[in-house]
Homo-oligomer: A and B are copies of this chain.
Amino acid sequence: MSDKVKYLLDESRIPKAWYNIVADLPVPPPPPLHPGTLKPIGPDDLAPIFCPAIIEQEVSAERWIEIPEPVRDIYKLWRPSPLIRARRLEQALDTPAKIFFKYEGVSPAGSHKPNSSVAQAYYNQQAGIKKLTTETGAGQWGSSLAYAGALFGLDVEVYMVKVSYQQKPYRRALMETYGARCIPSPSPLTASGRAILEQSPDSTGSLGIAISEAVELAAQRDDTKYALGSVLNHVLLHQTIIGEEAMLQMADAEAQPDIVIGCAGGGSNFAGIAFPYLREKLAGRLNPKVIAVEPASCPTMTRGRYAYDFGDTGHLTPLVKMHTLGSTFIPPGFHAGGLRYHGMAPLVSHVLNLGLVEPRAYAQTECFAAAVQLARAEGIVPAPESSHAVKAAIDEALRCKAEGKAETILFCLSGHGHFDMQAYTDYFAGKLQDVPFDQQALDKALSELPQVDESAF
């Protein structure tokens, strides 16, 4: 095995296509449904909020989708992202395991999100769109779309989950530096926001609410479209560049992962690192254990139901079949804002349901402890979201130690925590508590799931 610390690739080796797992699934994924009729929708139903090229990707079953040259040109600013062998963490853990991580925090916005925001901004600009609306939780997606908007001359309006808006003023400042407008959600600017504020004036918001606000605005104007930062097929597609690059780099490292790990909020960075490996697994060429990690306080995969549900709280979006806590479930305001979504990407839910992926949930304080351990060994301070993947990687490395196995672990470090340092301050001050899970709230939200007759399609 190679003894390098860091596996770089020349920009000429940025993959030329994204990978679409739909082409290789043994069972096709269930179709999305119209929110009014509860019948399968077609591409036309998405036209009010997405431009044609995005819709085409959303419904595509092509295995490879070419990355446009202008998008690859922008990727070159930070891609290929480095693959790093975490030797110092291995030493600190005294484990025989080999730990590699793919570090997406080198992007301008500090996470994997620009992999999709740049692509989405490009396609919208090509379609003559002038403005994009979106939501953001932790702020990773909002700042990534703000960045992409600056590159392609698009106005960007970001509805930021209120609890994050308040906790992360630096994220707002970053969006504004890129020229975007950032609004706390729920806001009085939309019917969806006003409806929530009437019921709960002190609402700290949720991704589901913020999505409703952004979608509502986009549907009202021809020159405005909506951009989603996770969950949907086309977003997961764009993120597969992470796994495709990782495969090239693992080959350079003369190693193959026995375990592939990603944190999963909406599911996009997880899909990014995992789907290319699932292709190899489905084809029988590799057989890694694939782990999706979520927070114990928003446990979509480990406690949710695999069912049709709305993507948003305002019920403006199509229904998709996914692991969900119910669109009326509002998770507690813990710090990993990017993992506070009530659902999970339909494609991630589908592969979970097929038994291809192992879900796992961790409490936030044990994730911060893992993050600090990584920071003191490797220097990088992870985003709170990414710390869930770090925790799983450390746990697997310790299992290897207990079992005396020299397995190879690959995880996606989806972003840095530079804009989340208040959470670290709170952690060190003992202010972060692991909130007991509210099973009653979950039961109530699940009882409100829409009734869908799946036998009809």
Contacts and interface: CB of A to CB of B under 8 A. Distances in A.
Interface stretch (A123-131, A420-428, A442-450): A420-428
Interface stretch (A2-10, A61-69, A191-199): A2-10
Contact of A378 (B5, B6, B77, B416): B77
Given A170-B421, A418-B170, A178 B8 contact: no
Majority secondary structure of chain A interface residues (helix, strand, loop or mixed): helix
B8 A10 contact: yes
Contacts of A296: none
B11 A176 contact: no
Given A10-B8, A418-B170, A77 B379 contact: yes
Contact of A4 (B5, B11, B378): B11
A384 to B, nearest CB: 12
A311 B6 CA distance: 39
A46 to B, nearest CB: 29
Contacts of A110: 418
Contacts of A5: 11, 73, 76-77
Contacts of A375: 108, 150, 177-178
Residue of A107, A178, A376, A428 most packed against chain B (CB within 10 A): A376
A150 B10 CA distance: 31
Interface string A161-201: 00000000110111011110000000000000000000000
Given A4-B11, A5-B73, A380-B108, A422 B151 contact: no
A147 B6 CA distance: 19
Interface of A: 4-6, 8, 10-11, 73, 76-78, 84, 88, 106-110, 114, 147, 150-151, 169-170, 172-174, 176-179, 372, 375-381, 416, 418-419, 421-422, 424-425, 428
The 9 closest A-B pairs by CB, nearest first: A108-B379, A418-B418, A173-B421, A170-B421, A5-B76, A150-B376, A173-B425, A173-B424, A8-B8
